Structure 1
Amino acid sequence: MFTLAYHALLRIGEMTVNKKYYNRVISLGQAVVLHEKLVINFIDFKHSNGKQFHLEIAKNENDNICAVMALTSYLILRTNKGGPLFLNSSGDAVCRQLFQHALNGALNFCGLSRTYYKPHSFRIGFATDASAKGLSNKTIRTLGRWKSDAFKLYIRQSGQISSL
């Protein structure tokens, strides 16, 4: 989930349910692995105003951080039961609390402070990396499904990152 959260700039409400609220959660049928890429069809998302968005993520040469490989591996284990893309081991939709708990566990394992990292950090990380790699503001805005220039608030400068 973390790898896909980063590469697809996912909002927490696009991956997890909150009190059985499924409205904007990506369903199994919206994410398809095709050869060397992952395709996600966003049907309803914050600021969508009825417009759909089609995102393609190319396979990364580094399998350890490849969203295509990660989702492929997950889908092999996941049941074919419809519903939300991400299910817990009981077959229920992953809730926000479970995602946050897993993130906290990963941060603790890495010796990082939970103070600085939240589920939204994946969007911040991708926006920051994309900007550092020279992607245009328009491209970053589009990939993150931002309606305005609010994404600029997500982009961290190197001094902000190293001081954490």
Structure 2
Amino acid sequence: MYICGLRYIYLQSGVQCLISSCCSSKLLRLETIYRGIKKQEVKSSRKRLPLTYDIIKNMITVLQKGIFSPFVTALIEAACIVAYFGFLRCGELTVNTEFDTSCNLCIEDITFEEDYAILHLKSSKTDPFRSGVNIHLFKNNTSLCPVKSLIRYLAVRRSRFSIACNSSPLFVMANGEALTRTFFINHVRSILEIIGLNPSNYNGHSFRIGAATSVASKIEDHLIKILGRWSSECCTRYIHTPKSTIKQAQLALISD
């Protein structure tokens, strides 16, 4: 908490890096403490496998067989597809406790254009000052279209809850309350179990990891950073490289 407080003061002063000052040499003692903390930090052994396009496609196929009610089906389908194409963290579309209009997604945070939708995130993990960011979700001609899934969900939502103000939660459960992390993850894991995957290997971050992994070999790194709203190279930690790709890379080292 002490270091977080120092960082906040530095940011308020316009200094981006806590370790080095814009007007003096490096803060060597603080840098040493910081390195020590990082060494003592216990890394999580919890698996977070990626939910890739193919896996989500199988999930949607199972969903459409009617394993849940029509409302829950539309909700989970839209949430999964938007989380994938929007590179969303689970906390950016669900709530842990109480719904807060100042930071959680509301109906007014989604707007539709001719061939895309704009999802406005009022806050996120990397946006501590809540500047907000617009995420563009474009139409595609597949069964995993974020725009079409949102339109379907909102239609089902309106038929169930006819009265809803713009500040109401965008994603709601069957009881009308904001979509919780527990509800979302439990339903996702139920689907994963049906398609034969170990649900304990996946969590809310798996959509973001899966999106980064799916496009890693198809687009340039700077575009991945833009899509995932990363300001550093940490996005590479999210990419799961198959062993077959590593094998091909090593074979490329062989010269005739």
Q: TM-score range by the shorter chain?
A: 0.7 to 0.9
Distance 2:199 2:244 in 1: 16
Cα deviation, 1:109-130, whole Å, max 9, x if unaligned, reads 1111113211111101111112
1:35 deviates by 2.3
Unaligned runs of 5+ in 2: 1-78, 246-256
1:142 deviates by 2.1
Question: Which residue of structure 1 lines up, in the alignment, with residue 96 of structure 2?
Answer: 18
Question: Which residue of structure 2 lines up, in the alignment, with residue 57 of structure 1?
Answer: 137
1:137 deviates by 2.1
Distance 1:73 1:109 in 2: 24
* Equivalent position SS for 1:55: strand
* Equivalent position SS for 1:41: strand
Letter of the aligned partner of 1:156 in structure 2? Answer: H
Aligned residue pairs, count: 159
Letter of the aligned partner of 1:9 in structure 2? Answer: F
Question: Which residue of structure 1 lines up, in the alignment, with residue 200 of structure 2?
Answer: 115
Bigger Rg, structure 1 or 2: 2
After TM superposition, the score normalised by the length of structure 1 is: 0.88
Distance 1:2 1:50 in 2: 24
Matched, 1:94 2:187: no
Counterpart contact for 2:172–2:179, Cα < 8 Å: yes
After TM superposition, the score normalised by the length of structure 2 is: 0.58
Question: Which residue of structure 1 lines up, in the alignment, with residue 83 of structure 2?
Answer: 5
Identity, in percent, stands at 29
Distance 1:107 1:58 in 2: 26
Unaligned runs of 5+ in 1: none
1:16 deviates by 0.7
Q: Which moved more, 1:146-155 or 1:64-73?
A: 146-155
Counterpart contact for 1:13–1:24, Cα < 8 Å: no
1:140 deviates by 1.4
> Over aligned residue pairs, what C-alpha RMSD do you find?
1.9
Counterpart contact for 2:99–2:178, Cα < 8 Å: no
**Aligned match for 2:234, one of 150, 153, 164:** 150
Q: 1:50 to 1:98 in 2, by over 3 A?
A: closer
Poorly superposed stretches of 4+, deviation over 4 Å: none
Cα deviation, 1:89-141, whole Å, max 9, x if unaligned, reads 1110011110011111110111111132111111011111121212x222212
Question: Which residue of structure 2 lines up, in the alignment, with residue 68 of structure 1?
Answer: 147
